[in-house]
Amino acid sequence: MDIKITEQADNLLKDNGVRKEEILDIIKNSESSGQKLKSKDGNTCIAKGASENLTIYAVYSASELLDVYTHKMNILGITGGEIKPVEYDDASDWICAKCGEVALERNVDMSYLGVTRPGPGLVCAKCGEMYVSAGMAKSTLKTAEAILEEKRA
């Protein structure tokens, strides 16, 4: 799989402090293990990887890296400990590529600098793999991290 990294994507990598080789490794690992989210139309994937205290996500098509985002929070697990039925439609637009299950929008507990709170995640009910969406990571989590880091700023 030959993924092109445009100048724009390269800037995103720099903004997030992620190296090119790192992101390509994450995509390669996901492709070989099948551990990734796939859009319903099958055109876009999200791969997840970790480097020291940072969770890194790659959003990509068959040919190109589309987006990169990260969070420093540590995902602890499903809020409440198990996936219980809910009344609302919790189906997301993503499918767990490994299990073929639709990923569910569920709260997951995330922890950073001693503070733990729930936040929306994308969860596969079968394998239990947990992801965070780009919107959530780029807005809410980034701001919360900045607030918690203010003491060190």
Partner 1 sequence: MEPISTVESLCPECLGKIGGIKYAENGQVYIKKECPDHGSFTTLISEDIGHYRQMEECFEVNRSRARASLTDVEKGCPFDCGLCPSHKQDTCLAVVEVTDRCDMGCAYCFASSSMDKSLDPDMETIRFMFETVKKCQNEPTCIQISGGEPTMRDDLPEIIRMGKEVGINHIELNTNGRRIASDQDYFDKIASAGIDAIYLGFDGVSDDIYMKRTGKKLFDIKSEVINRCEKAGIGVVLVPLVAKNYNLHEVGRIIEFAGSRVPTVRGVHFQPVFYSGRAPSGREGRITILELLREIEKQTRGQLKVENFTPSLMPHAHCGATCLTVIDSNGFLPLTNVSLGALKSASDVASKTKKSIMGRWRGSEKDAQKSSCGDLLIKSSCCEKPLSQLTVKGSCCEKPITDILPKNSRLGGGWADFIEMSRNSYLTISTMAFQDVWSYEKERVENCCIHVVTRDGRFVPFCNYNMTDCDGKFLYRNAT
Interface residues with partner 1 (CB under 8 A)?
8, 12, 15, 67, 88, 105-107, 110, 113-115, 117-120, 135-136, 138-144, 146-153
Cβ nearer to partner 1, comparing 21 with 150: 150
**Distance in Å, CB of 130 to partner 1, minimum:** 13
**Distance in Å, CB of 37 to partner 1, minimum:** 18
**Distance in Å, CB of 143 to partner 1, minimum:** 5
Q: How far is CA 136 from CA 99, 112, 129, in A?
A: 24, 15, 17
Quick count: other Cβ atoms within 10 Å of Cβ 50?
11
Cβ nearer to partner 1, comparing 48 with 106: 106
Cβ nearer to partner 1, comparing 11 with 33: 11
Question: 116 near 48, Cβ under 8 Å?
Answer: no
CA 116 to chain centre: 18
Cβ nearer to partner 1, comparing 128 with 135: 135
Q: Quick one: which of 55, 41, 36 has its CA closest to 124?
A: 36
Quick count: other Cβ atoms within 10 Å of Cβ 42?
10
